[in-house]
Amino acid sequence: MSTLRAINPATNEAFGAIFAEPDAAAIAAACAAAAAAFDGYRETSLEARATFLETIADEIEALGEPLIATLLAETGLPRGRLEGERGRTTGQLRLFAQVVRRGDWIGARIDPALPERKPLPRADLRQRFIPLGPVVVFGASNFPLAFSTAGGDTASALAAGCPVIVKGHPAHPQAGELVGGAIRAAVAKCGLPAGVFALLTGQSHELGGALVRDPRVKAVGFTGSRAGGMALVKIAAERPEPIPVYAEMSSINPVILFPGALAARAEALGTAFVGSLTMGAGQFCTNPGLVFALDGPDLDTFVASARQALTGAPPQVMLTPGIHQAYETGVAKLTGLDGVKPLGRGAGPGAANQGCAALFEVDAATFLATPALSHEVFGASSVVVRAPDLETLKTVLEGLEGQLTATLHLEAADAELARGLLPVLERKAGRILANGWPTGVEVSSAMVHGGPFPATSDGKSTSVGTRAIERFLRPVCYQDLPDTLLPPALQAANPLGVARAIDGVLGG
């Protein structure tokens, strides 16, 4: 039987507990328990479900220092980042608790009967959202807390009323198990059936494939590579009953420097850009991998400033030996492309698996002729594209694939230029930001962390923010059902006190 152990990327040493790859019986048992728990869990009261999410957050906090210490060794990420990510993870769970309590996600709609209507009467029609069923969540390597075992997909699926089976990421198996234990403790404390949550940690494609193929599983959440995401999409589509896969996969997050902004602050922009590029060794889905600007002396100033900042950027341990190797391969590939000018690398490397940031420059014609320049290199790698004029810039942007983000740096004088590009960017990206950097994703009501393919496999959804709950819901209509058989949200007395649209008008 295949086994795995954590590897400390800073030392390449395996350490800690040995994890046996879950076998077919374990997979089937988790799916059966999730299916058995579904009908009960999905009808827990709003208060009970919200309390469950808050209890998970409490239990994660109660793990204390051992969780952080384990993550320090498993991921190579610094303490400040990990503590911040823990806060984001528990905050996310508590935010979804608020969402559950508010009950807007139920989407209650009532069209009262019109018995006297001519030529035909109208029946009484009532609609609510119900959860899809058991959800399989694939933990991500780069956010071992916020996008992993108890991360955004798990929080939003549990909030929707779906049991969750996490395919634990092999890069942080012990931290995953700690967090999984916290969720199991919350399940027990809240008196929920054990099938509401399961964690199966492993590294084989067979494990993930078997989970996605299981007929009891009704949706999948994934954050990772394009190849990995598309493999799951294919498996899900080929099931006798196809199911949705929400895969967040690949984005290079174009940044556009408008002339006014470059004229006003090219040097500061160069420094700040490298700060965003190298944050967390560039291991963010929103890492700025492309910079577009009109050619000219202000852009030269930006490039010079970025090169200068790059020199001072320290090497950072990457998450896994495999990620580090893929990063170096990607950078080497860019370095060897015709027309691509390397602008330099960050300092180092000093030790095992350290990534040194890489910056390149091309002209727009080369960019248009070289599809490889649009492929994500996961890590701190970026390409500055010099465009001769606005028309060319627009053409280049039109040719981009879907993105999680698009960033504008602009001054008031750039507004008209920006206005001309916004329709293109809206069609390409899930989030458009001005005078900031795409790294750092707020967990809130208005956030969109999603975007057209290949940024995600479903550009109509978001994996961060409260709208993420909608991925795991579907509407059901009840026609002329006796009040006693209606779900509470739709009963005449509205015992849940949720917002309801009457004939299409909220609170009407």
Active site residues: 248, 285
The residue among 109 and 172 lying less far from its own copies, judged by its C-beta, is: 109
Residue with tokens 């790698």: 381
CA-CA distance, 234 to 212, in Å (whole number)?
10
Alpha-carbon distances, residue 190 vs 185, 228, 420 (angstroms):
9, 35, 53
24: contact with its own copies by CB under 8 A: no
List the one residue out of 141, 143, 173 whose CA is nearest residue 6.
173
Q: Which of 55, 361, 431, 496 binds its own copies (CB under 8 A)?
A: 431
Q: Which stretch binds its own copies (CB under 8 A): 147-155, 165-173, 275-283, 410-418?
A: 410-418
Position among 65, 116, 480, 495 found at the interface with its own copies (CB under 8 A) = 480
479 is a contact residue toward its own copies (CB under 8 A): yes
**Is residue 23 within the footprint of its own copies (CB under 8 A)?**
no
Instruction: Please pick, from the candidates 115, 482, 493, 495, the single residue that binds its own copies as defined by CB under 8 A.
Output: 482
Helices (H), ranges, 343-414: 364-369, 390-398
Is the link from the previous residue into 475 a cis peptide, with omega within 30 of 0? no
- Read off the amino acid at residue 110: I
Verify binding: residue 501, its own copies, rule CB under 8 A.
yes
CA-CA-CA-CA torsion sign (34, 38, 42, 47)? negative
If the CB atoms of residues 102 and 307 are measured against its own copies, the closer one turns out to be: 102
463 binds its own copies (CB under 8 A): no
Residue 483 in the binding site for its own copies (CB under 8 A) = no
Of 88 and 169, CB closest to its own copies: 88
**Distance, C-alpha 344 to centroid of its chain:** 30
- Interface residue with its own copies among 78, 312, 371, 440 (CB under 8 A) is 440
CA distance 13 to 112: 66
Please tell me the distance from the alpha carbon of residue 86 to that of residue 83, in angstroms, as a whole number: 5
Instruction: Tell me the closest approach of the beta carbon of residue 473 to its own copies, in angstroms.
Output: 7
Least Å from the CB of residue 225 to its own copies: 17
The total of other beta-carbon atoms located within 10 Å of residue 87's CB is 14
Does 503 help bind its own copies (rule: CB under 8 A)? yes
Q: At CA 119, angle to CA 116 and CA 124, rounded to 5? A: 50
Q: Which stretch binds its own copies (CB under 8 A): 188-196, 202-210, 381-389, 466-474?
A: 466-474
Of 294-353, binders to its own copies (CB under 8 A) are none
Q: Which of residues 141-200 bind its own copies (CB under 8 A)?
A: none
Residues in region 242-261 near its own copies by CB under 8 A: 242, 244
Query: Of these, 215, 339, 436, 497, which contacts its own copies (CB under 8 A)?
Result: 436
* Interface region with its own copies, contact rule CB under 8 A, candidates 7-15, 297-305, 388-396, 408-416: 408-416
Cβ count within 10 A of residue 504 = 9
Nearer to its own copies, 344 or 459 (CB): 459
Q: What is the DSSP string of 82-100?
A: HHHHHHHHHHHHHHHHHHH
**Does residue 102 belong to the site contacting its own copies (CB under 8 A)?**
yes
| Cβ–Cβ < 8 Å for 343, 359 | yes
Span 105-124, contacts to its own copies by CB under 8 A:
109-111, 119-120, 122-123
b/e burial code for range 446-482 (CB count within 10 A of at least 16 → b): ebbbbbbbbbbbbbebbbbbbbbbbbbbeeeebeebe
Both ends of the chain: CA-CA distance in Å?
61
- Applying CB under 8 A, among 418, 469, 496, 498 the residue interacting with its own copies is 418
Residues numbered 207 to 236 that lie near its own copies (CB under 8 A) are 233
Which residue's CB is nearer to its own copies, number 59 or number 458? 458
Answer yes or no whether residue 450 interacts with its own copies by CB under 8 A. Answer: yes
